[in-house]
Amino acid sequence: MQLSTRHLLGIKNLTPQDISLILSTAVQFKEVLQRPVKKVPSLRDVTIVNLFYENSTRTRFSFELAEKRLSADIINFSASTSSASKGETLLDTVNNILSMKVDMVVMRHHASGAPHFLAQHIPAAIINAGDGVNEHPTQGLLDAFSIKEKTGKLKGIKVAIIGDIMHSRVAQSNIYLLKKMGALVTVCGPPTLIPKYIHEAMGVEVSYNLKETLDWCDVANVLRIQLERQNQVLFSSLREYSLAYGINRKILDSLHKEIVIMHPGPINRGVEIDSDVADSKQSIILQQVENGVAVRMAVLYLLSKPPNPENPQTP
Ligand code: NCD
């Protein structure tokens, strides 16, 4: 089995078979990560550069750990400490790095489409680790993995994505993925943070009522308010946002069932989610982080090998 693509630029162009293959390969890698020796030699001759033009904690550590667990050689680049701050273009930076014989590039960039641009210009496999407000495919995959692990399936599962949908690449990747795998998706938040034609464009339901949405869903994926991406005021205050759309114990206790709570991190405690929800047993936030390593191992592993039908790809 192999992926239909050489790069992971987004979920948008993956097939349901690609998604299933990544998720099932990640199950095997999660098993590897439970062993006393958590390392496999799968990427021993592969060199990977992690290009981070935008701040990141979880995603950068997660990719780095996944690469190390697969025995790859890695180089880390962060824009703030590199020649990018001296005016070098993206393509020049990457061509310089590639002349050092790099096989794969993991890239986070503040411009939507930056990894797609690179994929057209360089021969290495590109993995998008978040591009502007476009996509964050490995987050979508690890969220789906976590939902499937917790509930046993994706098909028919009701997922609410709550908060700043407008500025969220996580929302976008989650929606593409969940729809492809047969889940039902509702986005919920203030009208100013939900793109106007999202129902027509992406086939999701839209709700402005948090209580109704929580009553409907099995899983609530709560997003961070992306203050750094808002160039206009889209709600009156964080306090008002929190009163209308914050997930707190009181609203969860008013439901007649226990829903699964997710958040991609970083959390704004007391804004979109309260501490007694984030740290409760219905929250799988830390499992998401744990699963991220296995999912990224699966992606790197599957993209590292040229297709070879005589060599079935198993970890
Ligand atoms: C997200 C991101 O950077 O897109 N975080 C992450 O990768 N875990 C979400 C966010 O910044 O809110």
Residues 32-43: tens digit of each pLDDT: 999 999 999 999
How far, in Å, CA of 275 to CA of 284, rounded?
13
Tokens of 178: 């969940």
pLDDT of residue 144: 98
On whether the CB atoms of residues 193 and 183 are closer than 8 A, the answer is no
Pocket of ligand 1 (CB under 6 A): 58-59, 130, 136, 139, 169-170, 224, 226, 264-265
DSSP track, 102-168: --EEEEEESSTTHHHHHHHH-SSEEEEEEETTTB-HHHHHHHHHHHHHHHS-STT-EEEEES--TT-
* Portion of the chain with pLDDT greater than 90, in percent: 81
214 and 48 Cβ atoms separated by less than 8 Å:
no
**How far, in Å, are 93, 157, 283 from residue 280 at the CA level?**
44, 22, 6
Query: Which mutation among 53, 59, 172 tests ligand 1's pocket best, with the greatest number of atoms within 8 A of CB?
Result: 59
Tens of pLDDT along 253-311? 999 899 999 999 999 999 999 999 999 999 999 999 999 999 999 999 999 976 544 44
pLDDT tens-digit map of 54-105: 988 899 999 999 999 999 999 998 877 666 667 788 888 888 878 888 999 9
| pLDDT tens profile 45-64 | 999 999 999 988 899 999 99
Helix count and strand count (H, E) for the chain: 12, 9
Which of 114, 110, 115 shows the shortest CA–CA distance to 126?
A: 115
Which SS3 state, helix, strand or coil, does residue 219 take? strand
Kindly give the number of the ligand 1 atom that is closest to the alpha carbon of 58. 8
Q: Three-state DSSP class for 205?
A: strand
Residue 259: closest CA among 153, 113, 137, 151: 151
Structural domains of the chain, ranges and CATH numbers in brackets: 11-135+291-303 (3.40.50.1370), 137-288 (3.40.50.1370)
Are the C-beta atoms of 265 and 38 separated by less than 8 Å? Answer: no
CB atoms within 10 A of CB 125: 24
Distance from Cα 154 to the centre of ligand 1, integer Å: 22
Crossing angle for the helix pair 169-180 and 16-33, to the nearest 10 degrees = 110
Per DSSP, 186 falls in state E
Task: Give residue 84's pLDDT.
Answer: 66
Cα(58) to ligand 1 centroid in Å equals: 8
